[in-house]
Chain A
Amino acid sequence: QKEVEQDPGPLSVPEGAIVSLNCTYSNSAFQYFMWYRQYSRKGPELLMYTYSSGNKEDGRFTAQVDKSSKYISLFIRDSQPSDSATYLCAMIPDTGRRALTFGSGTRLQVQP
């Protein structure tokens, strides 16, 4: 079993839709949770960063962490064609080496 599970998609939605992206994880030591956006032929770009449980909002993006369920989500409101990319969830434990463990990524296509 992978430490971080993520539905690979692809997910296709019409412009303006609300998008929900999710990851589950098995390692209870994870405390820092990130979402990265990766456009084709580009490196991952940090989108959202959350510590422990709770919600964080930044413009059209909302990140949620539920540590009791080991489940994290990213919501995109009013999705735009420019949001078309692969979204990677990633996490870091609170102790030991501070390296990211990634999900496999969900490919999102927003249709104009």
Chain B
Amino acid sequence: EAGVAQSPRYKIIEKRQSVAFWCNPISGHATLYWYQQILGQGPKLLIQFQNNGVVDDSQLPKDRFSAERLKGVDSTLKIQPAKLEDSAVYLCASSLWTGKGSGNTIYFGEGSWLTVV
């Protein structure tokens, strides 16, 4: 079974530039997550989708971050304009959870590593 795919793996940009990350979840997984992991810290949830609807985006800095999941499959996360403190790894994850019942196992991709200079 193919895992969660993410691209690009590495990106270096200057502050105030924009960047976009792409994620393709495991086939059939209804729920998709974007997490931000700053070096030395645990991942922090940015946004959670169930199919193509947003379940939780309370920790997404909406003045500069945006995310979408068109057609309930792939997702993109965009940062515009980037700040130095956005340097982190952006992890995409997915699960079978459909809104009720089980399906709590969450699988992560390899991450997209962003450096803002």
Contact = CB atoms under 8 A, between A and B. Distances in A.
Contacts of B93: 100
Interface string A4-16: 1010100000000
Contact of B56 (A32, A43, A99): A99
B110 A92 contact: no
Contacts of A43: 4, 91, 108-111
Given A42-B111, A97-B55, A98-B31, A92 B42 contact: no
Nearest to B58: A97
B48 interface: yes
Interface residues of B, number: 27
Contact of B45 (A34, A99, A104): A99
Nearest to B111: A43
B72 interface: no
Contact of A46 (B56, B105, B113): B105
B45 A100 contact: yes
B105 A103 contact: no
B91 A98 contact: no
Nearest to A31: B104
Interface in A69-112: 88, 90, 92, 97-105
A41 B43 contact: no
A101 B33 CA distance: 12
